[in-house]
Structure 1
Amino acid sequence: MEERKYGVYICKGCGIAEAVNLEGLEKAARKSGKVPHIKSHDVLCSAEGIEFIKNDIAAEGINCFVIAACSSRVKYEEFDFPGCLAERVGLRELVAWTQEPMSEETQSLAEDYLLMGCSRIKKSDIPEAVPAEIDRSILVIGGGVTGLTAALEAANFGQSVVLVEKEAELGGLAAGLYQQTPRSYPYQELEIPVVFSKIKEVLSHPKIKVLTKSEVVQTDGQPGLYDVTIKTGGKENVYKIGAVILAAGAKPYDPTKLGHLGYGASDDVVTNWEMEKLAAEGKILRPSNGKPAQKVVFIQCAGSRDPEHLPYCSAFCCNTSLKQARYVRQMNPDALAYIIYRDMRTPGQYELFYKHTQNDPGILLTKGDITGVNVADDGTLAVIAENTLLGERIKIEADLVVLATGLVPVTVDNPVLNLNYRQGPGLPDLDLFQGFADSNFICFQYETRRTGVYAAGAVRQPMDIATAMEDAAGAALKAYQCLEHTSKGIAVHPRAWDTTFPDPFMQRCTSCKRCTEECPFGAIEEDEKGTPFYKINRCRRCGTCMGACPERIVNFKDFSVDIVGSMVKALDIPDEGVRIVAFVCENDAYPAIDAAALHKLRLHPAVRFIPVRCLGSFNLVWIADALSRGIDGIMLLGCKYGDDYQCHFAKGSELANYRMSKLQETLDRLGLESERAQFFEVAISDFDRLPKMIDDFVARVEEIGPNPYKEF
């Protein structure tokens, strides 16, 4: 960057001028040094305010700004000045809207935030994107309805697509359906499976190369620059690929594990998938003797929502049983269909399909728990159910029993992608959902923990055909976005605008392997000597490697251990009262603070919030900096973690909490109370409980007493 010229611009609007003494703020800014241009404006984000700053850029050559106004989460475009470095200080949310106006504590708080902003901008540099030449083909793994839809969507964007299917024919499970549930209003008539028209479209599309009886042997490289080895007919070829859509789908749950429901005891106990084959013959006949099935009983949640089998709902089973009950009635108007359910789940407009089916007098539905399926000597089946809507035990004789079995992802014990990554050949999966690809389902659908690889359809979570097709379109859009961003040299997600990248000072690297082990996205590999190196297109710019490194050698141009440490050291520490520093996740906790401010909730004036990219970037040296400076307490405010984690970077909060636990052991050994440093889980919706959480921590620190380092 050319010679730096600094400027501080303070907004008076949104209650800021009524909350703090502006002359005091300007005095604090001058105290930080090297800031000759300090100005105020009534409304900085207005057209006049923006022009006010642009005039200084032109006349004074100002190229480094501290904008003391509103939160950095708003007015981003207004305060974006090309070629200039801007640091935002949220006086509106952190001071004017959450503090007692014109009090001594409020003034001190505002001045501290301004000092931290000035400190940060002096240590930062303008990030510069590094455009790259990439391969723009998209690989789709799986030729079922999800993969076919994803391939068509990507090809219609103008991208070349390689579609890989392990079977000889396209279509997957959907090709085995006799009919499918309706996809449009009024949701009454069954449809010809859409998968067959999709197959024709794919085979005739000039942008799609179809490889059947094929499998991925190895995936090497990084987004935009993948080398994918595909084996077809015993021959291996390497394809240049930019992004990957994993649409490998799911397989039916193994029915032999459902002997308690009669499967295997009688040929007349079949699965919902086997029922489709029976219907395709044009009549519903008993497999045991070929006679028409006059009474057909459907057992819902056959193995699903059961901790002994599948702990989850498979999403499609209820509608499938309703559809198949229609088969029974359409093919034999004298036949009866019984559906015994735990809960009927027909989301959205499928409720119309449910109600229409209910109106058929030959389709009987009741809630109940199946206790057994007995086989009589003559082959007749008896289904026993308890806890029914009638409040009594019932017995239903049946010619045919259909088990509504669920789905298991094909990736269970089968990597499919065969990634040549240090962290393993497959995608990290969700322990809670037994093998479904971890796509950060709470925050970002489709996106997996392998950048550039997008999961769609039933490999991501159980779903029906209509939902899988929507899923496929979303994954295709994300794959396209990945190509666009990678070619421009910017982060893919979730920091989609970020032009920075980690720039380690490798001369001091000790090859301790912490960064390679803790990176949630497999962005760091090791050479034959064990020295780490980045596959930068895999990087999400979370800074987890920065937090992990004990040598503190990983830096971004506008975010580093030194930058944040300097902000802590810039604080004014009073002789009386406590001072707290809170390192705050910018994805959940910081928006929660903004929301608390929007609702005009009071935040304790002793606390200074410092946003970080992710708590995974939290480095333990910041605790040392804070305590040596005389800070009395340290809070970490981060996303929830665990089975239903909300961390945008998958493991950030969990890693921060782990590091904090190790730190607390050290503090106890040093005679410093470990309770001075605490981790708190804060969801974006927790703004209403945030003030009490902070007040309670401050009260506990006050009870413990001042930091003994204040005396030195």
Structure 2
Amino acid sequence: MDKKFGVYICTGCGIGDTLDMEDLVDVPEEEGINCTTHPFLCSKEGVDLIQKDIDDGKVNAMVIGACSRRVNFDTFTFPGCIVERANLREGVVWPHSRETYPALTEDQKDDEEHFDQIQMKAEDYIKMGMIRLEKVKLPEPYKTESFSKKILVMGGGVTGMSAAVDAAKAGYDVTIVEKQAALGGYAAKMRSQMPTAEPFETTQAPVVDALLQEVEACPSIDVRTNCEVARIAGQPGEFTVTFKTPGEKIPFDVPFPLPEEMMVDENGKEYDAETLHAKYLEYNEGRKDILKLDPEGELYGAVVLAAGWRPDKLKGDAYEHLALDNPDVITNDEFEMIAAKGKIVRPSDGKEAKNVVFIQSPGKDEDDSDFEYEGSVTSQVALKQASYVTEDYADGKAYVVYQHMRTPGLQELFYKSMQQEDGIFLTKGAVTEVTPQGDGLTVSATNTLLGDNLALKADLV
């Protein structure tokens, strides 16, 4: 690349008011590099000024002395050019006041005793940018011989379909692989979802139906249901992918590492490398070596993993106090499946569940730790599912006991809406015990917001 240098300095945002622009412009010009100033370099006029110099062949490597590289990065993008940002605004002018570092008088400029520290810093930033331009080279993309621009999306739920639609809109051919018989994933089973549009106060119908229509209407999206990925080999831009039907065993299934119990003899001593390799081959008999490419595989340039999630299975002494063996103590996943079928009822006998307690933390009174999988999603799911109870029953009551309620961003509006909902009660607290009592359950909690201990009667937990 035959570099043609240029320096562009913005005088807006206080830069021109604080710095001596004539002296600053002299820095590149003393090196024979043209320097241009503009009052608002990030404006259309400022960007057009730079683009015109590029189009006229005057510059292809430039220092832009203006704001931080963390802002306006898309504004100052010029394909085929090297752009170095000198941060005069956040790095020089804004953090250093002229009250603390006054500008030099004309007499002081030449006495060699006084120095303008702000001006010197700005000049150093420009000099460093110019040196970097000299040393930096424009990256050249590496492309494989059989480079592919096709995109594989693993998973046909909301995430997978959204990725596929976005990629297709950007002009790429996309394949969606879904192991189930139809697209939709978990969202297709839900009664409703958290809000995604203003006023963010009520639940909404799952977006899955609208996404399905978009996918079906897009000719560049190939949908393969009842299909799994057996193996992905190769490198970015050149992935060789082998597909199969769920449950099918084929030579290009990925070989598995030996289980730990097969790596030692009857005395617990680990086998030597040769024996381990022999056992590995025996364990993976019928599977091709991991480095072997499938000659019948399909080529893809990129892979999006959107394979979904699995409900956690609670077990162990840490949850003993939650009465998990009781059929009316269920997970939020099981609750969602009940809600999708109709009104909220108890699994044990099918009776109406009008009083439901949602437990967000298992820690008794020992600490305030949450479930391992707890996060903003589970907090919002608890609020959403609490609203199901009041939707189904005019006299329904939902209690959410939490240690940390996480509703980031605009979802805080949904949280506030649920706080105002009649029949929904929210409190911080430590659940110490869930016990059967009569025809229902009792949930005991301590360290609540009001300082009182609670004993909540529930049809369902």
Shorter chain as denominator, the TM-score bin is: 0.5 to 0.7
Q: Helix, strand or coil: the match of 1:256?
A: coil
Q: 1:168 deviation in Å?
A: 4.0
Paired residue for 1:144, among 143, 152, 157?
157
Which residue does the alignment assign to 1:389?
449
Which AA in structure 1 matches 2:450? L
Paired residue for 1:267, among 327, 346, 349?
327
Contact 1:9–1:39 (CA under 8 A) maintained in structure 2: yes
Indicate yes or no: 2:355 matched with 1:295. yes
Which AA in structure 2 matches 1:198? L
Indicate yes or no: 2:299 matched with 1:240. yes
Q: Deviations over 1:122-159 (max 9, x none)?
A: 65666666788742221111122211222233234442
Which AA in structure 2 matches 1:260? E
Which residue does the alignment assign to 1:513?
none
Q: 1:381 deviation in Å?
A: 1.5
Q: In the superposition, relative to structure 1, how do residues 45 and 196 fare at CA in structure 2: closer, same or farther (>3 Å)?
A: closer
Which AA in structure 2 matches 1:320? V
Which whole-Å CA distance do the structure 2 matches of 1:42 and 1:356 have between them? 52
- 1:96-245 residue pairs with structure 2 within 5 A? 101=104, 102=109, 104=112, 134-185=147-198, 190-199=203-212, 201-203=214-216, 205-233=218-246, 234=248, 238-245=297-304
Q: Helix, strand or coil: the match of 2:388?
A: helix
Which whole-Å CA distance do the structure 2 matches of 1:110 and 1:336 have between them? 64
Contact 2:362–2:370 (CA under 8 A) maintained in structure 1: no
- 1:538-557 residue pairs with structure 2 within 5 A? none
Which whole-Å CA distance do the structure 2 matches of 1:365 and 1:82 have between them? 54
Q: Deviations over 1:319-356 (max 9, x none)?
A: 33333333333434344333333354444554554455
Q: In the superposition, relative to structure 1, how do residues 379 and 262 fare at CA in structure 2: closer, same or farther (>3 Å)?
A: farther
Indicate yes or no: 2:381 matched with 1:320. yes
Q: 1:372 deviation in Å?
A: 1.1
Which residue does the alignment assign to 2:426?
365
Q: Taking structure 2 as the reference length, what is the TM-score of the superposition?
A: 0.63
Q: In the superposition, relative to structure 1, how do residues 285 and 135 fare at CA in structure 2: closer, same or farther (>3 Å)?
A: same
Which whole-Å CA distance do the structure 1 matches of 2:210 and 2:324 have between them? 36
Q: Helix, strand or coil: the match of 1:252?
A: coil
Q: How many residues align?
A: 384
RMSD: 5.0
Q: 1:384 deviation in Å?
A: 0.5
Structure 1, unpaired ranges of 5+: 30-34, 402-712
Structure 2, unpaired ranges of 5+: 253-295
Q: 1:385 deviation in Å?
A: 0.9
Paired residue for 2:336, among 276, 296, 302?
276
- 1:533-572 residue pairs with structure 2 within 5 A? none
Which AA in structure 1 matches 2:392? M
Which whole-Å CA distance do the structure 1 matches of 2:89 and 2:203 have between them? 57
Which whole-Å CA distance do the structure 1 matches of 2:87 and 2:411 have between them? 47
Which whole-Å CA distance do the structure 2 matches of 1:198 and 1:309 have between them? 32
Q: 1:383 deviation in Å?
A: 0.6
Which one has a bigger Cα radius of gyration? 2
Q: In the superposition, relative to structure 1, how do residues 94 and 157 fare at CA in structure 2: closer, same or farther (>3 Å)?
A: closer
Percent identity among equivalent residues? 39
Which whole-Å CA distance do the structure 1 matches of 2:354 and 2:90 have between them? 69
Contact 1:68–1:88 (CA under 8 A) maintained in structure 2: yes
Indicate yes or no: 2:269 matched with 1:256. no
Q: In the superposition, relative to structure 1, how do residues 95 and 399 fare at CA in structure 2: closer, same or farther (>3 Å)?
A: closer
Q: In the superposition, relative to structure 1, how do residues 95 and 325 fare at CA in structure 2: closer, same or farther (>3 Å)?
A: closer
Q: Greater RCO between the two (CA within 8 Å, min separation 6)?
A: 1
Q: Taking structure 1 as the reference length, what is the TM-score of the superposition?
A: 0.43
Which AA in structure 1 matches 2:327? D
Which whole-Å CA distance do the structure 1 matches of 2:178 and 2:368 have between them? 32
